[in-house]
Amino acid sequence: MSSIQACNYPALIRFTEVGLRDGLQMESVFVPTETKLELVKALIRAGVRYLEISSFVSPRAVPQLRDAEALISAIPRDSGVHLAALAPNRRGVQRAVDARVDSVVLFVSASESHNGKNLNCEIARSLDNIGEAAQAAREASMPMQGAIAVAFGCPFEGEIDPDALLRIAERYLEIGCEGITLGDTTGMATPLIVQQTLMRLRQAFGPVPVTAHFHNTRGMALANMLEALRMGVTSFESSLGGIGGCPFAPGATGNVSTEDAVHMAHHLGIETGIDLDLLIQAALQLEAVLGRPLPGQVMRAGDRLRRYAIEAQVAAVG
């Protein structure tokens, strides 16, 4: 326990489950709304209270999320769950307001190349769009979060210009966003880059609330999360079973698994409010829905203190 105290990790952190949005958007076969709803209920039973539930983008761009309004309207709202949704422009925000989500997430990429692929326009135009979107959100008293995609590296351009990232963050704060989400969209972050990026944000803007969104493309997600924890980050995004990625970037495999991240947090003495056993059940439920093994590891191995009956194990012979 002394080593935990020495690292000065936060006592409580928040996970926002993004599997229903960032995870399922990569699936080519449409998952029925009723099935998505059952997954949401399983997550709520496990204690998950923050869900990035969908994205109000064109159904042509992301067909999997064409049922955003129907799914949101079916979710029981008496469970204390907070529903967030992505909205790239004013029209998306208006759809989010009409659907009665609890907050919207605006998003811009930190590189011109990825922004062109992801939003089909230059960063300057995207910043104009989010200004118009923010006006619609403010008129509806809708809380906003500002997300920066490829914040730690771009698959087309390489390293991200720190000034470009800071300009986007500054714009988000100007228009009234309550916090900044740093997206490791293609898993290019390292602990050192995480440290440097968080330090730049703090030097520029002070203690602005930061949410970290890591992908496990290169097996670095939990290491990056540890560094973010060490730097005082208390809000993270993760995906059930480790599914997902970015359809507009090559090699962008899954997000950090929610079960893996929660397991690590609990064994650092950090409270999450999530029941790991029930979360594993939800991940196995998702695996059955998708019909293939998922990349999450704790969903298969269980908690580190899981016990097995020794009589059931094969013994060495000879």
Tell me the catalytic residues: 246
CA dist 214 and 71 (Å) reads 26
CA dist 272 and 172 (Å) reads 27
Q: Are strands 210-213 and 180-183 parallel, antiparallel or unpaired?
A: parallel
Residue closest to 105 by CA, chosen among 97, 120, 93, 91: 93
Identify residue 187 by its one-letter amino acid code.
G
